Each structure stands twice: as structure tokens, then as C-alpha cells.
Chains A and B, each alone.
Chain A
Amino acid sequence: MPESQQAAQFQAKVDAEQKIEPRDWMPAEYRQNLVRQISQHAHSEIVGMLPEGNWIGRAPSLRRKAILLAKVQDEAGHGLYLYSAAETLGVGRDEMVSQLLSGKAKYSSIFNYPTLTWADIGAIGWLVDGAAIMNQVMLCRTSYGPYARAMVRICKEESFHQRQGYDILVTLSKGTPEQKAMAQDALNRWWWPSLMMFGPSDKDSPHSAQSMKWKIKRQSNDELRQTFIDRTVPQAEFIGLQVPDPKLKWNETIQHYDWGEIDWEEFNQVIRGNGPCNAERMAARRKAHADGAWVREAALAHAGKKAKRSAA
């Protein structure tokens, strides 16, 4: 079958809301696009464990410690679901990991900000997981079957993440003036980076149109960002915290919040590797990978020896 005909059939399938499965014909750019997006997403789950892992040992109670541990463990699982989905497109796990470790592959720049206080763990769950959920709910309907299935699994686990974060801030905001100030400070630092998680504005996002046509993405960056703001501002007000945006104001006519401007220069700096923690995050991942090398080799050697013995 000529390629133009295959491409037409492919697009017809996508338009008819049929999922694309690993062994189906697909345009090379669709495959590349997915590999890049899914592996980036997987890397984000893995690197995302670092800022929170930083607080597991210092969580203020055994209950909070157990919850945070469970949350971080979920993120490891999310990384696995996504790496597996990417592998169905023909890219090896070791290849993806080495692209992360060499700095060739990107991960969400939000994880290059430091977690300075316990309130930051609350802000991450509420805002960072909250923003991620917006994107992930959309991706449950993405056109590539294995990616969509991984997302359904992830979304089931995510709502606990957002709630546990909000719960931390509810508690702090009802606490001493110092605790409330700590919650406000966390919101001040995490608000704008969380809005940046939705990516560049639509007018500066050249790949978006193609991704929408392929139904990889189904809502634009700006649409998702606006919905996130509309949902989150009342949650902040509810616990008496102030969103750090002087231009934020409910617009009765359009039934959305008006809001200020993102500092895209900061966004680009962090993406380029100049965020507060880029070097630290990469160093931690490289060390973990190197330290685990002997375990991976030993397990394989052990499995080989056992297989030989049972064959004999």
C-alpha cells in the first residue's frame, strides 16, 4: 500500500476516535512525537520523586511520613507505566534512561525548584500534582492506546496526591501565625512555576496544532492553564491564602479569571538548565543509576545461574 494511502487511513482512524495500537502503521513523526512526549513524561515522574523524597525523613508525624512515602512510591509506578508505554513504540528502556542522564532528554522544569519547608510538600501536591492532573485527564483520551491506558491508571492514583497536599495546607493555615505564613510563602513560590507547567502560550507552541490533529493532545496549553486557575483560586481563598498575582480578578463577562503574565524568561532559563536545582537533580539521578549498576548485573547473573541449574 502506498504511504499516502496508509497515512490517509491512519488519519481516518484517528478522526473516528479509534485508538492506534503498537503494531499499527503510523507516520514516523507521530511515533517520534510520542516517544519524545511519553519519555519526557516518564522522566518527570522519576525526577519528580526527588524534591518530595527530600522531606520523607522530616515529615512532621508518622502519619504524614507514611502518606508521603506512598505518594512518592506512586510516582515511581507512574514512571514505570510511562516507560512501558514508550517501549511499545520501539525505544529501549536503557536508551531512554541514558538520554535522561546525558541531559539530552527533558523533564518537567517544575522539579528544578527546591522544597525549602514542609509547606512546600503541601503546595506540590495541591498545585503541581493538580496541574499535572489537568493534563493527564486530557491524555486519558489520547489517540495512542498504550499511552491512554497508562494515563487511566495514573489518574486513578493522582487524586489522592492532590488531596493530601491540600490537606497539609488546610492544616497549616489553621495553625499558628508562623504556620500560616509558611503556607503562604509556599504558595508564593509555587504558583507561577505551576502555571508554567502547561507549557508555552498557544501562539508560541508550534507543535501543538499537529498534536491536536493527531489527537495526541486534545486541549491547548492556554485552555488547560485557564481551567486550572479557575478551579484553584477558590481553593486558595477557602483556606485564606492569597494567590501572588495582583492582576488576578474574576471576570463576570467571560466567566473566567483575568490574570497577570508569566515570566517566560524564567521558564526558558530553567529549561536551559539554569534553574535553582537542575544540576542537583541530574547528579542525584546519575548517582542512583551508577550505584544500582551492580544490583542489576547481580540479579541477571543470578537468574542466569538458576536457569542453567533448572535446565541441567
Chain B
Amino acid sequence: MSTTNEKDWPLWEIFIQSKRGLDHKHVGSLHAADARMAIENARDVYTRRGEGNSIWAVQAADIHASKPEDQGAFFDPADDKVYRHPTFYPMPEGVKYM
């Protein structure tokens, strides 16, 4: 949605995995001419204090998002299915490990 002109380096969204075994988490964005520069610059700005060991860079233009104004209707189907949660099922007294 930001205004970019031809001479601008494209915008990249940066995701960092802080430790092996964890998810990559969005940390911010930066401009870079290509993917390699995006990853190297992300290392320099977002991992100066050992914040991560793996970086993903995704061009912002390639990200598709749900619409906030449709939020209610879009996520509605999940609202009335309480039986998807374990607390929906009362357990008889004395039953263990469930």
C-alpha cells in the first residue's frame, strides 16, 4: 500500500527464527535491491544481539492478507463450534489422564 516509485528498492518483510525448533516470527521490514541484500541487511539490523539463527525475507508485494473490515463474517464460522474445545466434554468424576 505504500507508494513506491521505479527507483526505489522493493520492500521486504523479515521473519526471524530466534532458536532452532521455534517458528519464524515477523520482526519488521526493510528495502533491498534483491533477496541476498535483504537477508544480509536483515542480519545487520535485526540480529545484532544474537536474536536469531535463521532469516526469511519475503517481498511485501507477494503477501496477501485477509481484510480487516470482513473480520467478523470471515472468522464467524469458528465462533459457534464450542464442541471443538476439550472443555465442552464433562468428564465423570474419577476418570484420570484425559
Contacts and interface: CB of A to CB of B under 8 A. Distances in A.
Interface of A: 21-25, 70, 73-74, 76-77, 80-81, 84, 87-88, 90-95, 149-150, 153, 157, 296-297, 299-300, 302-303, 306-307
Interface in B27-45: 27-31, 33-34, 37, 45
Given A91-B3, A94-B5, A94-B8, A23 B33 contact: no
A23 B45 contact: no
A73 B48 CA distance: 10
A74 B9 contact: no
Contact of B33 (A21, A70, A93, A299): A299
B4 interface: yes
Contacts of A84: 28-30
A307 B34 CA distance: 9
Main secondary structure of the interface of B (DSSP, over half): loop
A302 B33 contact: yes
B81 interface: no
B65 interface: yes
B1 interface: yes
Main secondary structure of the interface of A (DSSP, over half): helix
Interface string B40-82: 0000010011000000000000000101110000000000000
A21 B65 CA distance: 12
Contacts of B27: 153
Given A80-B45, A87-B11, A24 B68 contact: yes
B87 interface: no
Given A84-B28, A153-B28, A23 B3 contact: no
17 contacts: A24-B68, A70-B48, A74-B48, A84-B28, A88-B2, A92-B3, A93-B2, A94-B5, A150-B28, A157-B49, A296-B7, A299-B33, A299-B37, A300-B7, A300-B33, A303-B37, A306-B34
A303 B4 CA distance: 17
Contact of B45 (A77, A299, A300): A77
Most buried by A among B5, B9, B45, B65: B45
Given A81-B28, A87-B2, 9 more contacts: A21-B68, A24-B68, A80-B30, A88-B2, A94-B5, A153-B27, A157-B49, A297-B7, A300-B9
Interface of B: 1-5, 7-9, 11, 27-31, 33-34, 37, 45, 48-49, 65, 67-69
Most buried by B among A84, A153, A299, A302: A84
Nearest to B37: A299
Contacts of A153: 27-28
B16 to A, nearest CB: 11
A307 B36 CA distance: 12
A299 B9 contact: yes
A88 B3 CA distance: 10
A39 to B, nearest CB: 13
Contacts of B28: 80-81, 84, 149-150, 153
A157 B45 CA distance: 12
Contact of B9 (A24, A95, A150, A296): A296
A90 B1 contact: yes
Contacts of B8: 92-94
A95 B7 contact: no
B20 to A, nearest CB: 22
A81 B29 CA distance: 8
Given A24-B68, A80-B45, A84-B28, A95 B33 contact: no
